[in-house]
Amino acid sequence: MSEDLTILAGLCDVPTAPYAEAYVVAYIRHWAGSPERKSAIEVRTDAVGNLHLLYRAAADHVPELVLEAHMDHPGFLVEACGADGEFTAIFRGGVKPSCFAGAKVQFWLPDAALKLPHDQPLLPAGRWLPARVAAVEAASGTSPIRAKLAWLPECLPEQVRRIGPGSIGMWALPDSHCLDRMFAARVCDDLAGAAVGLYVLDRLIDGKVAANVRLLLTRAEEVGFAGALAAAVRELIPAGCAVIGIETSRAMPHAPQGRGPVIRVGDKTMTFSPSLTRFISMRAGGIADQDNAFAFQRQLMDGGTCDSTAFAAFGYDAAAVCLALGNYHNMADADSPAAIPTAGAHIAAETIHLDDFFGLVRLLTDVAANFSAYAPDHGALRQRLLTMYEREQKCRLESFDLL
């Protein structure tokens, strides 16, 4: 399988923050606009700005499989600019206030007003302007974290003047790059998950695979599953359908990086659809039987709660998969390698392992291609257990006396 990183690296370099996903939307619309994709994928934006990429290449009776990832990442939005070069920004997402002290942040200055969706370059044109956190106010009640920042001396006054309320800020980390098989970026959570979905669609298109797949890319997961909840509550996807959430999730001792994609049996809040989880596991086992090099993990990833919980709570047949994530939400792990870029004593690039990434692309492509065989009940399992009982166990039970 080719390992072209262009889309993964490109997408993970795009500025994003909760509620401010417009650049990600623009990037993906541009991606979907190439001639070979345009004829195979229909792009829709729903009532709340979630993106739906519809690949329909199977008969209408073949059920639709929804793959879902989110387009935001914990980040800053400028609140108010002062005359003295200081300004305040709201931070949304799960990062400990103790990580902010002295950290470097950068704010996105676009070259021109964002145009949607035509004429948009694949990567947004603009530059990052660096600033430093001077003080931070912890979140309280419904108020998010608020940071006071100061521009660094290299910022030109005419550039700073063009930064206004709503401008996106992210930790001052370099663009994505690889260190051996480790991929490091400002954002892996969850643009790497969204990239998995794009790579799966490309493989379905290349292979002319007969499947009906919807890649749902949601907004504002980091602040309480906003886009996913809207999709579930307003039935922006078919009621009760199968949804597989694609996430990055904090690596755990029992689910380390580089041991393959994780079939996530549950998160901090829920355990997911037993039948859909089992179907994914069986497909993964089938690939591993054919290819010794294919590894996968099946684990509870209870480091956080993900969109699949929102879908499960509203009656969807929801399962989840994930990539084990290093430096979760940019909070530097104690054992983060020295080569991984940092933006302060406690802030570092997020990492994923490329073997996990391409393993997950392979697994979900296989799940999508074979999804017509999925039955959302335990009938097939029950039949297998019944056969085993009747052929092997029943007569033995009956032929042995208890004493």
Contacts to Zn ion by CB under 5 A = 189-190
> Cβ of residue 247: shortest distance to Zn ion, in angstroms?
5
> Cβ of residue 168: shortest distance to Zn ion, in angstroms?
17
Burial of 37 (0-12, 13-18, 19+ CB in 10 A): middle
Burial of 50 (0-12, 13-18, 19+ CB in 10 A): buried
> Cβ of residue 68: shortest distance to Zn ion, in angstroms?
11
Q: Which is nearer to Zn ion, 272 or 371 (CB)?
A: 272
> Cβ of residue 128: shortest distance to Zn ion, in angstroms?
22
Q: Which is nearer to Zn ion, 275 or 309 (CB)?
A: 309
For the chain, the first-to-last Cα distance in angstroms comes to 59
Q: Which is nearer to Zn ion, 151 or 328 (CB)?
A: 328
Q: By the 8 A CB rule, do 53 and 183 touch?
A: no
Q: By the 8 A CB rule, do 197 and 69 touch?
A: yes
Cα(19)–Cα(221) distance, rounded to whole angstroms?
A: 9
> Cβ of residue 356: shortest distance to Zn ion, in angstroms?
15
Pairing of strands 65-70, 242-250: parallel
Longest Cα–Cα distance of the chain, Å, equals 92
Q: Which is nearer to Zn ion, 74 or 169 (CB)?
A: 74
Q: Which is nearer to Zn ion, 190 or 267 (CB)?
A: 190
Cα(191)–Cα(369) distance, rounded to whole angstroms?
A: 23
Q: Which is nearer to Zn ion, 190 or 355 (CB)?
A: 190
Name the residue among 317, 309, 142, 320 with its Cα closest to residue 229.
Answer: 309
> Cβ of residue 73: shortest distance to Zn ion, in angstroms?
8
